[in-house]
Structure 1
Amino acid sequence: MQVQTQWVNTTDQQRLFVKLWGNEANPALVLVHGYPDNQEVWEPVIQHLIHDFYVISYDVRGAGQSSVPRNIRDYRLEQLSLDLDSVTHAVLGERCFHLAAHDWGSIQSWESVTEPKFRSRILSYSTISGPCLDHAAFWMREQFKQHKTKFFKQMTRSWYIAVFQLPFIAPTAWNFFNAERWGKMISQLEQQENLPLNQNIVKDGKYGVNLYRANFLPRLSRPRQRFAVCPVQAIVLKKDQFVGPDLIDEMPKWVKDFSRVELNANHWAILSQPEQVAHLIHNFIQQKLTATT
């Protein structure tokens, strides 16, 4: 696949590594990766999208080749949204774009999808395994009051969030991994061999922990009312062992134009079922393009 690269400076003097795929004349599609990944995790999906879209991917701060901030507060959702703004303005200028994201990329993208300044700029959003933290907080409060079984079921899935708050143990634990060991774990989860390896897994895991530390406690303890400014498609992974499908039930309360589709896959479907993921993203965008013409 033909790719161009460039560096983008952020509002707080970090540097983000950006890749541009396909024909610039095509509709623009921005992809945001999750944790503990970097933008390379999207490449199996990109090969199925490159002919119809101008695809922009980037390493979020602390991941891949992008720079690593010194302070935990530099990973706050507000700054991550400014990063998306910096990347899209540098690459696209004032052009509108579609957005798709996975895992933590999806969590952080909700900050932009619910930000009024992105209205009419983000044309559609496909979210995979990453709810808005504010929405999740409201959902958990309601479930704790009315459906404690659902509440504790999701808490069981999210055990790792508490571990990631530990100041020394969580980052240091990633030193015991390497690409092959992490790849074996992903293959076991997805029940599929020979998936692409993350050669940068130690760095991505160690520094990306700060995404959790900077955002989970503030957002879950003080949730905000955040309404989507664009159509949203939730791609629900039925076998996801980390993000329960029940969390999706909260989304229609905050999204005026909401769609839900299901895929019989585990958390890293973008690696194990890239063609199916690309198909769902493509179809949703085409639906929205058709509706506006």
Structure 2
Amino acid sequence: MNTTTKTLQFIHVNPLKLAVYEWGKSSPEQETIVLLHGYPDSAEVWDRLADKLSEQFHVVSYDVRGTGLSDIPARQKHFHSDYLIEDLKQVIAATSPNKAVHLVSYDWGSLQAWEGILGDRLKDQVASYTAMTPSLDAIGWWFRREVQKNSFEGYSNVVKRMTSSSYMVFFQLPVIPELSWRAGLYKVWPKFVAQLQKTTVPVSKTMLKDALHSIALYRENMIKPLFLPSSRKTTIPTHMLILTKDPFVPRAISESMREWVENIEYTEIDANHWVMLSHAEQLAQILSDYIGRHNQSKNAA
């Protein structure tokens, strides 16, 4: 029986306080896993998986700035990926100061993490990276190449992708997305997810706040990489999870990440976008197996 308890501490990343949750403590004998959540969630979405992983690992999650118990930035520009990566670096430094961690993310957690992984900005702090969503740069390159085909198939693929991701365009609009959440979208969101994904999403007390403020992630970070994608690469070992029932993440773009990652593995899971909720036990085993192959203590021995 797992007796590891979840603890809370606040880390200062000037001028904000970030809420950081831990299962266990960093030690030379244990690998540390850092879990990075997406939109419109908070770190709470990881709890079920973290409980299972903590049987073997030191586990860390945190509320991204503007969500959960973390402070809200004063301006939209403070949601830029540069600030998000600095938050991540400080969380890692505080919870695993002497050993690189294994980063796991989905949705906007992945999109922001890729900004630190590509170009190896996090090379000294991240031993391996498991992503469930490809980078914004990869999405930008995919759109560009489909258009350059100058064919019915290419344009059709672009239209299909834009249709399935229309909410991203919606979030670029001023005021209207906020009004939608305030009008009651946050109340029906769990039912919507349950119907679409056959998964029960925990109803967070901070969901409305999280959804409202985190819209800034879309507005501050999406446009440039989609229209002017970079060609940054990484040497950090990377594990790409392909969720076969996820309507938000196109398989072709996930598979294209091998172009930007020197050392990449793929694992397919018959699951949806919130796999950490619907398939927590299976995901924990998959992560355990992958991290076991990248165990720093064993590899150094």
2:284 aligned with 1:282: no
Counterpart of 2:91 in structure 1: which amino acid?
Answer: V
Q: How many residues in Structure 1 have an aligned counterpart in Structure 2?
A: 290
Aligned partner (choices 55, 70, 74) of residue 70 of structure 1: 74
Question: Is residue 170 of structure 2 the alignment partner of residue 167 of structure 1?
Answer: no
Matched, 1:122 2:129: no
> Which residue of 192, 196, 200 corresponds with 1:189?
196
| Distance of 2:269 and 2:159 partners within structure 1 | 24
C-alpha distance after superposition, 1:140-183 (max 9, x if no partner): 11122223333222212110011001110112211133765222
Q: Is the 8 A contact 2:248 2:273 kept in 1?
A: yes
For residues 1-293 of structure 1, the aligned pairs below 5 Å read 1-10=4-13, 12-25=14-27, 26-128=30-132, 130-146=133-149, 147-177=154-184, 181-192=188-199, 194-289=200-295, 293=301
1:58 is displaced (CA, Å) by 0.3
Q: Percent identity?
A: 32
Summarize deviations over 1:165-224 as a string: whole Å, max 9, x none. Answer: 1110112211133765222112112224x5532232111110110000001112212222
How many angstroms apart in 2 are the aligned matches of 1:106 and 1:118?
A: 14
- Tell me by how many angstroms 1:276 deviates: 1.6
Q: Displacement of 1:72 after TM fit?
A: 1.1
Q: Secondary structure at the match of 2:212?
A: helix
Q: Mean Cα displacement is larger for which, 78-87 or 174-183?
A: 174-183
- Distance in 1 (alpha carbons) for counterparts of 2:79 and 2:235: 23
After alignment, is 219-228 or 29-38 more displaced? 219-228
> What are structure 2's unaligned runs of at least 5 residues?
none
TM norm structure 2? 0.91
Gaps of 5+ in 1: none
CA RMSD of aligned residues (A): 1.7
Are the structure 2 counterparts of residues 292 and 131 from structure 1 closer, same or farther at C-alpha, using a change threshold of 3 Å? farther
Q: 2:147 is aligned with what amino acid?
A: F
AA paired with 2:203?
L
CA contact (8 A) 2:235 2:263 kept: no
Q: Secondary structure at the match of 2:203?
A: coil
Q: TM-score, structure 1 length as denominator? A: 0.93
Following the alignment from structure 1 to structure 2, what is the Cα–Cα distance between the partners of residues 108 and 20?
21
Whole-angstrom CA distance in 2 between matches of 1:276 and 1:190: 17
